[in-house]
């Protein structure tokens, strides 16, 4: 018969991982040896290994190398053993800096002088000099005396730099991510994670990684670019000849040379947030280095990196800069004193890049004028410079030329047409510079012959900047969950709007609403139009957008952007939406008479609208400081808690502006090819509970978009000019969501295949969800279905595609399953917080359904409050369900103080088990409920059948030890003790004396103290047995001592 235990976590994932890591060159340290090396479970360093490594480190002196003194080594170990009062992240950063840069220590030289030298904790240049070790079940003490036990810890020179949680294949790897995040919290074991550089969650089929402080949603997968290298190592490391995804990821990330490379070169601090490279950033930097060092046979040092919008190009630039700086320090490097010029064509991008470099502890200088650029280039002390591309034109006019070949030009969004002419200027100013162009959109394959801009861009991008270095497509980013998909909905409002069209549009907006909600909305529109004395089309868009925002965006705690065809239109929409109420909009446009974009046509009237806006809304607070105004608005918008929830623009901020909280882009402006792809990327960033970014189109970007095939052939939007593979799944039609709703609906019903849809007994439905794994599956599938139903009711195009009858069926099924979820959550004491799924659908319930607002978070059954408990039980149907709810909650409470009051725990658990056995035998649900209610009442009142010896009646600690004795006897013999109670009471007092005399500071982890306690307890128990003529077995005595120690760790 097959052994089901092969699918348990330990053999399937953890044991296999240890074997693979060992074959990579790590030494396995058994758990017992690891605990001895640490000396205490509060400690996490292998100090003996660290000292061994440091004792071999040397420093140069007078043409020879000298070993560091014992005092310096001790100082280095102390420095690494910091307990930062500033918190985990500050400690982690301080330690990370020491790991990469070493620690400066003062040595006394032979001539009596003193001089400082750096001692390194890791030898990055010679990996073979390091001590690579792996251990498992790494138990670390928490502040409350309990323990947390990461599955695997990887150490370099005794320093725990990698923490891994393993899960079996049937468990979602995200549980391992959540466990890691919990473990680095203040209530758990931050002292371990202050050393961590790489944090992983693995199961045989999937691996996610991050670093200390990485939010759960940013843990990502690794995909190896060097397939041959990986295949060779998989053959070497596989324990059984087969290769699992877990094996691939462990090899890719933990191969000693790769791990050292990542720790040293691919972890940065961005505004005090620690970030580790994604796999594409790692390989892009490595490929750029190969190109620059002429190792890739391209016969040039220049090239293009195409990484899709939202994939972190600026971070890639920063990591490449760091690596080039480090390369330049090598004696034989062709790169000497490198300098870096970050070039873009937008003021906001220039500022953003500069800020990103500042946040990563680099010191960029911003060229504000052409003369300023010349001055910065002439000063070799300026390592990093940011500049707008047009500053090079001014430099050319001054006949400036710098022939330094160690200048690196990193050009952002290098596909843009303006680089055609200005690229010539860059070449004139810096003829020998290395040029790496970064673009977030694909290059055009078949330019529209009428569009000279695209012809130039297509022909010249590679010619200007060199062959492609690396590519990361939109689909790659979606697959890696680096970005979210984009869904498109057309709500085109014609330029000339008739009364009939307005009425038809209102019918669309009100589709699916209850009669009262429909009347309220129509009245609201008529009042709005009466007040808005402007063109009907903008009124219609403003009203439609307002309703969509309040019904779909705001309930989910998202934000949105609106792009308008002109600055004047943006201002008008600002006032309309503000007057409608419920939305706090803001406008970011170019001030005064300056044009914004090539397509803008201004009149005296539109310029007055713009000027009046700045005079009324901006100048009173910001005077003429428009940069400060823009910073204030964008800061309030990007902050999820900020008060700006709708950002209105024309062209500004459609490129390079990063606001993950933005989930919807409303479009009333023609967008094509690159501009379209850049604009939609404003809503493709990952954010909590954001499954996709939504484009709501009022202008008509596409001819039609019902499927992916329509996208690839659409010439109106310019999407037909790209390679199909390059824009695969860039945008999907909202109508494609119809199939997703149907699938989600079928998946939900599939859980209940054996039950008739006409079944009316609540117990039948609840019983089908008795197993936790089935309930978990139900909760997840219900949440997926709920979000799609919510989306359907917010989109009249999707609603009409689904149809009234089917939509009503979905609505009713959702309500049924939601009530079922509420009842089983209570019955089985599941702590399920559905608020993140139902914040949005709560509005659906109120607006589209005549139903009461449902409770979102199911609270645990409140056994200590009789009235509250009865109120909660009333939601459940049968007596069995109610009794079960009491039983599951009672057990949870008892388990929480098992070792604080073991006798009470044992007594109530015996009653619970006996009651369950009687019910299983008799199937009398009324008696079952009555017994459970009586037990809850006894618990509330503090009643139990426990009898304590008189001698310890007023001594809580002794009572706990009395319970430990009784519990140990029961565990060993299966019977309660019939020993004289008073003698057991005296024994409990004596046990208390033994524990209290030994329980000094840090005693819980001190092996020597444990040994002393056990010896004294052994003597005490044997004396007791002899005095009372009792004959307990050695096993019984051992079990009692274990129980006593568990209680002691709780009490002392």
For the chain, how many structural domains are there in total? Answer: 6
Does one domain contain both 65 and 207? yes
Which residues are within 8 A (CB) of 960 and not within 5 positions of it... i.e. 6 or more apart?
Answer: 899, 900, 901, 902, 1047, 1050, 1051
Predicted pLDDT of residue 904: 63
Predicted pLDDT of residue 655: 82
Which residues are within 8 A (CB) of 764 and not within 5 positions of it... i.e. 6 or more apart?
Answer: 755
List, as one string, the DSSP characters of 854-894.
PPSB-PPP-TT-HHHHHHHHTTS-SHHHHHHHHHHHHHHHH
Average pLDDT, the chain: 81
What is the rounded average pLDDT of the residues 444-461?
48
Q: Which domain holds residue 713?
A: 486-730
pLDDT reading at 534 higher than 60: no
The answer to whether 539 touches 533, Cβ cutoff 8 Å, is no
Does one domain contain both 507 and 585? yes
What is the rounded average pLDDT of the residues 13-40?
94
Q: Could you say which DSSP state residue 122 is in?
A: S
Higher pLDDT, 390 or 525: 390
Distances (CA, A) of 1044 to 329, 961, 998: 60, 6, 13
| 860 inside domain | no
pLDDT reading at 54 higher than 80: yes
Which residues are within 8 A (CB) of 715 and not within 5 positions of it... i.e. 6 or more apart?
Answer: 448, 703
- Is beta strand 384-388 parallel, antiparallel or unpaired with respect to 339-344? parallel
Does one domain contain both 935 and 995? no
pLDDT reading at 1029 higher than 80: no
- Among 268-272, 548-552, 654-658, the range of highest mean pLDDT: 548-552
At 633, which CATH number?
3.40.50.300
Predicted pLDDT of residue 601: 72
Kindly indicate the confidence band of residue 738, based on its pLDDT and cuts at 50, 70 and 90: confident
Helix axes 279-292, 313-328, angle to 10 degrees: 40
The answer to whether 697 touches 492, Cβ cutoff 8 Å, is yes
Tokens describing residue 524: 């609201």
pLDDT reading at 207 higher than 90: yes
Predicted pLDDT of residue 948: 72
For the chain, what is the largest distance between any 2 Cα atoms, rounded to a whole number of angstroms?
Answer: 110
Q: Could you say which DSSP state residue 312 is in?
A: -
Kindly indicate the confidence band of residue 543, based on its pLDDT and cuts at 50, 70 and 90: confident
Tokens describing residue 1000: 């000094």
| 81 inside domain | yes
| 820 inside domain | yes
Q: Is 831 left (phi over 0), alpha (psi -120 to 50) or beta?
A: beta
Q: Could you say which DSSP state residue 301 is in?
A: S
Question: What is d(CA 415, CA 457) in angstroms, rounded to the nearest whole number?
Answer: 6
The answer to whether 256 touches 124, Cβ cutoff 8 Å, is no
| 853 inside domain | no
Ranges 265-274, 699-708, 924-933: which has the least confidence: 924-933
Distances (CA, A) of 731 to 194, 694, 718, 790, 801: 42, 9, 13, 20, 19
Does one domain contain both 450 and 503? no
Kindly indicate the confidence band of residue 849, based on its pLDDT and cuts at 50, 70 and 90: very low
Collapsed DSSP state (helix, strand, coil) of residue 16: helix
What is the rounded average pLDDT of the residues 204-224?
94
Predicted pLDDT of residue 6: 40
| 596 inside domain | yes
Element at 733 (helix H, strand E): strand 732-733
pLDDT reading at 618 higher than 70: yes
Question: What is d(CA 270, CA 282) in angstroms, rounded to the nearest whole number?
Answer: 17
Terminal CA-to-CA distance of the chain, rounded, Å?
A: 48
| 855 inside domain | no
Does one domain contain both 130 and 145? yes
End residue of a domain, out of 730, 763, 784: 730
| 781 inside domain | yes
Does one domain contain both 306 and 421? yes
Predicted pLDDT of residue 459: 43
pLDDT reading at 637 higher than 90: yes
Tokens describing residue 606: 């539109």
Indicate if the alpha-carbon torsion angle 533, 537, 542, 548 is positive or negative. Answer: positive
pLDDT reading at 456 higher than 50: no
Question: What is d(CA 807, CA 803) in angstroms, rounded to the nearest whole number?
Answer: 6
pLDDT reading at 505 higher than 70: no
pLDDT reading at 846 higher than 70: no
Tokens describing residue 278: 């994604």
- Among 191-195, 684-688, 722-726, the range of highest mean pLDDT: 191-195
Higher pLDDT, 608 or 522: 608
Does one domain contain both 549 and 622? yes
Does one domain contain both 508 and 614? yes
Does one domain contain both 536 and 566? yes
């Amino acid at each position: 018969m097959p052994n089901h235990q092969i699918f348990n976590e330990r053999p399937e994932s953890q044991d296999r991982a240890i074997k693979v890591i060992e074959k990579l060159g790590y030494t396995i340290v058994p758990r017992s040896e690891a605990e001895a090396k640490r000396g205490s479970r509060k400690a996490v360093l292998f100090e003996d290994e660290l000292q061994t490594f440091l004792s071999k480190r040397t420093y140069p002196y007078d043409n020879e190398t000298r070993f560091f003194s014992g005092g310096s080594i001790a100082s280095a170990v102390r420095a690494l053993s910091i307990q930062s009062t500033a918190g985990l992240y500050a400690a982690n950063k301080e330690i990370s800096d020491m790991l990469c840069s070493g620690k400066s220590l003062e040595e006394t030289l032979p001539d009596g002088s003193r001089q400082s030298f750096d001692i390194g904790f890791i030898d990055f240049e010679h990996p073979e000099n390091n001590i690579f070790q792996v251990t498992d079940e790494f138990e670390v003490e928490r502040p409350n005396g309990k323990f947390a036990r990461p599955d695997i810890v990887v150490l370099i020179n005794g320093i725990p730099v990698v923490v891994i949680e393993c899960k079996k294949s049937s468990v979602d790897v995200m549980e391992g991510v959540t466990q890691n995040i919990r473990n680095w919290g203040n209530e758990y074991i931050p002292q371990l994670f202050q050393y961590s550089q790489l944090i992983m969650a693995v199961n045989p089929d999937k691996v996610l990684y991050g670093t200390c402080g990485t939010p759960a949603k940013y843990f990502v997968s690794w995909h190896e670019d060097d397939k041959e290298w990986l295949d060779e190592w998989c053959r070497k490391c596989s324990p059984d000849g087969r290769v699992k995804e877990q094996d691939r990821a462990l090899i890719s990330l933990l191969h000693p040379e790769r791990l050292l490379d990542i720790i040293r070169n691919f972890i940065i601090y961005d505004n005090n947030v620690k970030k580790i490279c994604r796999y594409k950033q790692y390989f892009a930097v490595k490929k750029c280095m190969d190109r620059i060092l002429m190792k890739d046979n391209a016969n040039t040092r220049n090239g293009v990196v195409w990484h899709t919008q939202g994939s972190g190009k600026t971070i890639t630039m920063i990591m490449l800069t760091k690596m080039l700086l480090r390369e330049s320090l090598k004696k034989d490097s062709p790169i000497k004193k490198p300098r870096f010029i970050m070039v873009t064509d937008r003021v906001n991008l220039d500022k953003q890049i500069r800020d990103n470099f500042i946040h990563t502890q680099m010191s960029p200088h911003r060229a504000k004028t052409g003369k300023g650029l010349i001055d910065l280039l002439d000063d070799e002390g300026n390592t990093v410079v940011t500049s707008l591309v047009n500053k090079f034109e001014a430099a050319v006019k001054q006949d400036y030329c710098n022939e330094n070949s160690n200048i690196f030009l990193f050009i952002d969004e290098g596909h843009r047409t303006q680089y055609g002419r200005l690229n010539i200027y860059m070449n004139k100013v810096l003829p020998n510079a290395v040029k790496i162009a970064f673009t977030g959109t694909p290059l055009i394959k078949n330019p529209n012959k009428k569009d000279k801009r695209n012809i130039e861009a297509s022909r010249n991008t590679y010619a200007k900047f060199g062959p492609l270095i690396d590519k990361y497509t939109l689909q790659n980013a979606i697959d890696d969950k680096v970005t979210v998909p984009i869904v498109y909905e057309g709500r085109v409002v014609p330029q000339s709007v008739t009364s009939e069209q307005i009425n038809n549009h209102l019918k669309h907006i009100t589709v699916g609403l209850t009669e009262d909600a429909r009347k309220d909305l129509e009245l609201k529109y008529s009042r709005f139009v009466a007040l808005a004395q402007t063109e009907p089309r903008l009124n219609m868009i403003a009203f439609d957008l307002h309703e969509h925002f309040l019904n779909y965006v705001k309930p989910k705690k998202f934000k949105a952007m609106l792009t308008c065809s002109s600055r004047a239109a943006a201002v008008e929409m600002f006032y309309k939406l503000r007057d409608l109420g419920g939305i706090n909009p803001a406008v970011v446009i170019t001030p005064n008479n300056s044009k914004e974009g090539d397509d803008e046509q201004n009149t005296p009237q539109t310029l007055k609208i713009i000027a009046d806006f700045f005079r009324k809304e901006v100048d009173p607070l910001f005077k003429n400081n428009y940069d400060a105004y823009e910073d204030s608005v964008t800061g309030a918008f990007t902050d999820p808690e900020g008060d700006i929830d709708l950002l209105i623009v024309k062209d500004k901020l459609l490129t390079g502006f990063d606001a993950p909280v933005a989930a919807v882009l409303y479009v009333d402006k023609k967008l094509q090819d690159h501009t379209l792809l850049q604009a939609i990327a404003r809503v493709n960033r990952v954010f909590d509970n954001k499954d996709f970014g939504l484009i709501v189109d009022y202008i008509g970007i596409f001819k039609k978009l019902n499927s992916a095939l329509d996208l690839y052939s659409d010439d109106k939007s310019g999407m037909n000019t790209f390679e199909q593979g390059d824009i695969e799944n860039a945008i999907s039609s909202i109508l494609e969501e119809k199939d997703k709703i149907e699938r989600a609906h079928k998946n939900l019903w599939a859980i209940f295949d054996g039950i008739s849809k006409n079944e009316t007994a609540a117990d039948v439905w609840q019983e089908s969800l008795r197993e936790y794994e089935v309930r978990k599956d139900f909760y997840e599938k219900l949440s997926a279905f709920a979000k799609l139903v919510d989306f359907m009711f917010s989109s009249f195009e999707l609603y009409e595609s689904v149809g009234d009858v089917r939509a009503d069926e979905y609505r009713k099924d959702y309500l049924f399953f939601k009530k079922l979820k509420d009842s089983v959550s209570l019955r089985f004491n599941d702590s399920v917080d559905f608020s993140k799924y139902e914040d949005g659908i709560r509005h659906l319930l109120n607006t589209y359904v005549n139903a009461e607002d449902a409770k979102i978070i199911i609270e645990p059954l409140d056994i200590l409050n009789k009235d509250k408990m009865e109120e909660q039980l009333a939601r459940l149907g049968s007596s069995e369900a109610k009794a079960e709810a009491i039983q599951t909650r009672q057990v949870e409470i008892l388990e929480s103080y098992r070792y604080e009051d073991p006798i009470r725990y044992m007594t109530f658990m015996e009653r619970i088990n006996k009651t369950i056995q009687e019910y299983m035998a008799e199937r009398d649900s009324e008696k079952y409920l009555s017994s459970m209610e009586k037990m809850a009442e006894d618990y509330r009142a503090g009643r139990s059948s426990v009898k304590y010896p008189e001698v310890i009646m007023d001594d809580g600690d002794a009572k706990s030890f009395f319970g430990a004795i009784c519990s140990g006897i029961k565990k060993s013999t299966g019977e309660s003790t019939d020993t004289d109670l008073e003698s057991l009471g005296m024994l409990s007092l004596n046990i208390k004396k033994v524990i209290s005399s030994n329980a000094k500071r840090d005693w819980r982890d001190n092996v020597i103290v444990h040994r002393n306690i056990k010896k004294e307890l052994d003597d005490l128990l044997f004396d007791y047995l002899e005095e009372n003529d009792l004959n307990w077995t050695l096993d019984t005595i051992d079990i009692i001592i274990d129980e006593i120690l568990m209680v002691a760790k709780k009490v002392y």
